[in-house]
Structure 1
Amino acid sequence: MADNTAINIENIYKKYNALLEGHFLLSSGNHTKFYLQSAKVLEYPQIAQKLALSLAALIKEHSIEVECVCSPALGGILAGYELARALGVRFIFTERVNSEMMLRRGFQVTKGEKVLICEDIITTGGSALESAQCVAQQEAKIVAFAGLANRGFCKAILPNNQKGNEGSKIQAQSPICKLPLSLPLFALANFSFDIYPADSCPLCKDSIAYKPGSRN
């Protein structure tokens, strides 16, 4: 089992220049001053493996039975694949076709199959929820959500070494979070960054928002 006390997500993202500061447009349409570019971290397989093992250990500690990991493309694929490998289960992904999230490439789930939805970063959880709806249409059972990090809007279960961690009671669910409260969300850390609606963003008076993610 991985040693969660050895993981400091903020330091890792800073080390690999993956904690960006500027004026960013998120997939949700909101704006923010800070952005977590997970691709800069996950381009190193040994780091991706270390993070996935820690996330898998957290999930196992809470006795969540997983038979398959599913991620939304493109951002969640590397994190989801490594998490599936750490859990010893198969991996599939959903992708957008004409703005609609779909299962393609022959991917299927079976009725009652226990599926965990994994993202790299959970903000509102919108893409993760869309992936969950895709597999739920094939009557799979969604057992949990997971991300390497959580931006603090969704209620998350963190490793015990995280400051202020109180298990599933770590925080109240923000109204902008789209994930259901009935299912657990696991993450290795919370990042509390302000986000702003596009029509009232204070950053817009000085610059134009840039979209650095995979859905440009």
Structure 2
Amino acid sequence: MNIEAIYKESNALLEGHFLLSSGNHSQYYLQSAKVLENPKTAQILAEALAKQIQQSGIMIDTVCSPALGGILAGYELARALGVRFIFAERVEKKMTIRRGFEIKKDENILICEDIITTGGSALEAAHVAKEMGANIVAFAALANRGFCARSGSQKEAKPSCKLPQDVPFFALEDFEFEIFKPEECPLCKEGSIAQKPGSRGN
């Protein structure tokens, strides 16, 4: 399966001049919401990701996703795995699990995002679930921005990766784009103005 081609066909691999949440700039941006707006495509990607996870032999009771970006990916993955789905969300800037969702002691939970960059939000959701008694058995995402090492890849994790190295991380593809500090951005030097994409922008 050519994941990059699927993203391009869905207009989810954007090219331009983007201001990232880190404050850095990039010529490319992944907008997984565009992939997931087509239920059939979402199903195909989730089933491919579920196959990787099932082949690992890891036992999963529940998939948990941080809102908002991870909800669609996590729900489709839970459906493909045949397990329960819950989500975590920020309340006054603090990640929490509410809405009546309960976690049993030693429940095996996989944390799923649409895209993992450094894994910060996924790790926050994992901490909340763990405080409620969960075993965090894996992390997963449709796409990996290349900062963290996914299972089956020869690429090593970068220092900025926040995911624990002793818990497996599954993703369909690595997308590594060159990132620039604003003062070093060649696009800025050409007179282009960076646009803020994504759930925290538009």
TM above 0.5: yes
State the alpha-carbon separation in 2 of the partners of residues 33 and 58 from structure 1.
Answer: 30
Aligned to 1:175: 159
Does residue 1:118 correspond to 2:112, yes or no? yes
Structure 2 length-normalised TM: 0.92
State the alpha-carbon separation in 1 of the partners of residues 93 and 20 from structure 2.
Answer: 15
Aligned to 1:211: 196
- 3-state SS of 1:127 partner: helix
In the alignment, structure 1 segments of 5+ residues that lack a partner are 1-6, 158-166
Calculate the aligned-residue CA RMSD, in Å: 1.6
Number of aligned pairs? 200
The 3 A distance-change label for structure 1 pair 60 and 43 is same
Q: Equivalent of 2:179, from 195, 208, 215?
A: 195
The 3 A distance-change label for structure 1 pair 137 and 28 is farther
State the alpha-carbon separation in 2 of the partners of residues 98 and 199 from structure 1.
Answer: 32
Asked if structure 2 preserves the Cα contact closer than 8 Å seen for 1:59 and 1:186, the reply is yes
Structure 1 length-normalised TM: 0.87
State the alpha-carbon separation in 2 of the partners of residues 106 and 56 from structure 1.
Answer: 26
In the alignment, structure 2 segments of 5+ residues that lack a partner are none
- 3-state SS of 1:207 partner: coil
Q: Equivalent of 1:93, from 77, 87, 92?
A: 87
The 3 A distance-change label for structure 1 pair 52 and 154 is same
Which stretch of the first structure deviates more once superposed, 22-31 or 123-132?
A: 22-31
Aligned to 2:60: 66
- Identity level (%): 65
Measured after TM superposition, the shift of residue 136 of structure 1 is: 1.0
State the alpha-carbon separation in 1 of the partners of residues 106 and 145 from structure 2.
Answer: 30
State the alpha-carbon separation in 2 of the partners of residues 147 and 188 from structure 1.
Answer: 7
CA shift digits 1:102-139 (9 cap, x unpaired):
11212221111100000111111111111111111112
State the alpha-carbon separation in 1 of the partners of residues 60 and 22 from structure 2.
Answer: 28
- 3-state SS of 1:188 partner: strand
Aligned to 1:81: 75
